Amino acid sequence: MIKNDLFLRALKGETVERPPVWMMRQAGRYLPDFMKLKEKYDFFTRCRTPELATEITVMPIHQVGTDAAILFSDILVVPQAMNIEVEMKPGVGPWLPNPVRTMDDVHKVIVPDIDETLGYVLDAVKMTKKELNDEVPLIGFAGSPWTILCYAVQGQGSKNFDIAKKFCFTNPQAAHTLLQKITDTTIAYLKAKVEAGVDAVQIFDSWGGMLSPKDYDEFSWKYIQQIIDALKGDIPVIAFGKGCWFALDKMAVSGASALGVDWTCSPEMARKLTGGEITLQGNFDPSRLYSPPSEIKDMVCTMIDEFGKDRYIVNLGHGILPDIPVENAIAFVEAVKGYKK
């Protein structure tokens, strides 16, 4: 029995004394102890070593006080398992030396055996669950098929993912074949995480907002819907599409337990678009954590008032930035914990 089950209760839509709080990318780069590990071990070593992933996952629970843990990993472990080489280059970020650009390239992409290729993630889940000792729930995650395709085809991060979009629009058959392979792998991966012990899962559609609403339906949402359909009977699923406010109405009837909202959509609009019956998560601008702690507290309380304390999970509208002072992150969390209507 999880001692602090606020997060899980909010996902079920139950009445709570205050909303739960966690932060995307909370297990990482703004914490001094994380930076010490970063100096010793490269990025994918940290992902692939269960002891390190566990240590990093638990850090913010003890140091910042969030109501849920999210496993330290990366969305790009999935393409790695699918026979797509991924490196993390300092100063560049994700780098894929052999991007997928043709149907022949797509045929070389495999739907892997999850235990064989991503067993280290499952070991990290089990180890982290043990370390958390039922203090708070553990979230597992994956990138959306579209977001994974963006990296696989573009070969690196991008402001507009023009090469990835060109691939989809000039070779839709290859694009859909690749998207389905990523979807099948992601479903198997998340189901394995559920079996290993995670308490909820989140799908990150970081680049969904790059598409028009029509193209979003074709190249992103229908694959996310497959994942939700496959998982929703087993575990709460959170769907988060950055820049995808235009799809919130269909997301609200997808069977997801909660929807993430970024800072470009107001709480009032998010509630209106989703019909007011589904749990929402978000949507504090990560850059606003540069504000003084007293201002952060006021803004957080206003945000909770606007979303309402029930069917709501306090979070950022995207990942925490690397140079945010730890005391500001703590102020964000403490504002929620001290919230009174």
Kindly state whether residue 1 falls inside one of the protein's structural domains. no
* Amino acid identity, position 323: D
Q: And the tokens for 103?
A: 């149907």
Is the pLDDT assigned to residue 165 strictly greater than 80?
yes
| DSSP tag of 137 | -
How far is Cα 69 from Cα 67, in angstroms, rounded to an integer?
A: 7
Average pLDDT of the chain to the nearest whole number: 97
Q: Phi and psi for 20 in degrees, rounded to 5?
A: -75, 165
Q: Is 206 annotated as a binding residue?
A: yes
| pLDDT value at residue 29 | 87
Kindly state whether residue 204 falls inside one of the protein's structural domains. yes
Q: And the tokens for 61?
A: 């629970």
Residues 13-22 have a mean pLDDT of 97
What DSSP letter does each residue of 218-261 carry, written as one string? Answer: IIIIHHHHHHHHHHTTTS-EEEEETT-GGGHHHHTTTT-SEEEE
Residues 212-239 have a mean pLDDT of 98
Q: Is 154 annotated as a binding residue?
A: no
Of 2, 9, 142, nearest to 71 by C-alpha is: 142
Q: And the tokens for 169?
A: 């629009």
Collapse the DSSP code of 280 into the 3-class scheme (helix H, G, I; strand E, B; otherwise coil) and give the result: strand
Q: Is 48 annotated as a binding residue?
A: no
How far is Cα 82 from Cα 97, in angstroms, rounded to an integer?
A: 15
How far is Cα 230 from Cα 241, in angstroms, rounded to an integer?
A: 19
CA 7 to chain centre: 15
* Amino acid identity, position 159: K
N-term to C-term CA, the chain: 28
| pLDDT value at residue 67 | 98
Q: Is 44 annotated as a binding residue?
A: yes
Q: Is 9 annotated as a binding residue?
A: no
Q: From residue 324, how far is each of 25, 119, 168, 285, 317 by CA, in Å?
A: 12, 33, 37, 12, 15
Better-scored residue on pLDDT, 90 or 166: 166
With a pLDDT cut of 70, the percent of the chain lying above it is: 100
**Beta-carbon count within 10 A of 32 CB:** 9
CA 270 to chain centre: 19
| pLDDT value at residue 341 | 77
| pLDDT value at residue 90 | 86
- CATH number for position 29: 3.20.20.210
Query: pLDDT tens digits for 306-319?
Result: 999 999 999 999 99
Residue with tokens 């269909």: 250
| pLDDT value at residue 307 | 98
How far is Cα 253 from Cα 6, in angstroms, rounded to an integer?
A: 23
Q: Is 288 annotated as a binding residue?
A: no
Query: pLDDT tens digits for 27-70?
Result: 988 999 999 999 999 999 999 999 999 999 999 999 999 999 99
Q: Is 28 annotated as a binding residue?
A: yes
| pLDDT value at residue 236 | 98
| Dihedral, 204, 208, 209, 211 alpha carbons, nearest 10 | 180
Q: Is 305 annotated as a binding residue?
A: no
Domain count for the chain: 1
Kindly state whether residue 263 falls inside one of the protein's structural domains. yes
How far is Cα 164 from Cα 187, in angstroms, rounded to an integer?
A: 22
| Sign of torsion over alpha carbons 300, 302, 305, 306 | negative
| pLDDT value at residue 224 | 98
Is the pLDDT assigned to residue 220 strictly greater than 80?
yes
- Identify the domain containing residue 136 by its residue range: 6-337
| pLDDT value at residue 226 | 98
Helices (H), the chain: 6-11, 32-40, 43-48, 50-63, 77-81, 103-108, 114-132, 145-154, 162-170, 172-196, 213-216, 222-231, 248-251, 267-274, 293-307, 326-337
- pLDDT confidence of 268, banded at 50, 70, 90? very high
Query: pLDDT tens digits for 93-142?
Result: 999 999 999 999 999 999 999 999 999 999 999 999 999 999 999 999 99
Residue with tokens 């089990």: 126
Is the pLDDT assigned to residue 12 strictly greater than 80?
yes
| DSSP tag of 217 | I
